[in-house]
Amino acid sequence: MMINYAAVPPASMKAAKSKTADQPTVFVVDDEPMLLELAEAILKPLGYHVRTFRDPELALKEFPAARPDVVITDYAMGRMSGMDLIRECRRLNPRQKMILLSGTVDEHVFADAPVKPDQFLTKPYQIHELAERVRSLIAA
């Protein structure tokens, strides 16, 4: 996997840059720290304010105040699944944009669910796939 570091602003700009209205917020929820770091390394240079969570319950607690533009969640995470998180986020914000990731299940897992993600990505995903899915959801 290659990251386009040309898109990364110089260190001085990064330090001075804080979350602004033109910087969309993306929550990434996964119990695997390496996958959180990967998603952050992909999305931050593209101008997104990325917040990572290993615990979906903590992400849900932060959700109302942060009002993320997109939530990316793994499917299998212990006590609370990604589908549970999607359902709860949509209960709080029915139009919340959601991406479900999984390396263990496919799209059939939510075929009959009353609440579905906007996008689904199979792990391992390509860098451009994640970036494009987030971009298209924010643009919609």
pLDDT of amino acid 18: 46
Q: Which two tokens stand for residue 133?
A: 């899915």
pLDDT of amino acid 16: 36
Helix axes of 127-139 and 33-43: crossing angle, nearest 10 degrees: 60
Distances (CA, A) of 116 to 44, 89, 122: 26, 11, 15
pLDDT tens digits, residue range 78-121? 889 999 999 999 999 999 999 999 988 888 888 888 999 999 99
pLDDT of amino acid 20: 56
pTM score: 0.84
Whether the pLDDT of residue 23 is over 70: the answer is: yes
Please give the Cα distance from 9 to 110 (Å, whole number): 38
pLDDT tens digits, residue range 53-77? 999 999 999 999 999 999 999 999 9
Contact indicator for 120, 107 with CB cutoff of 8 Å: yes
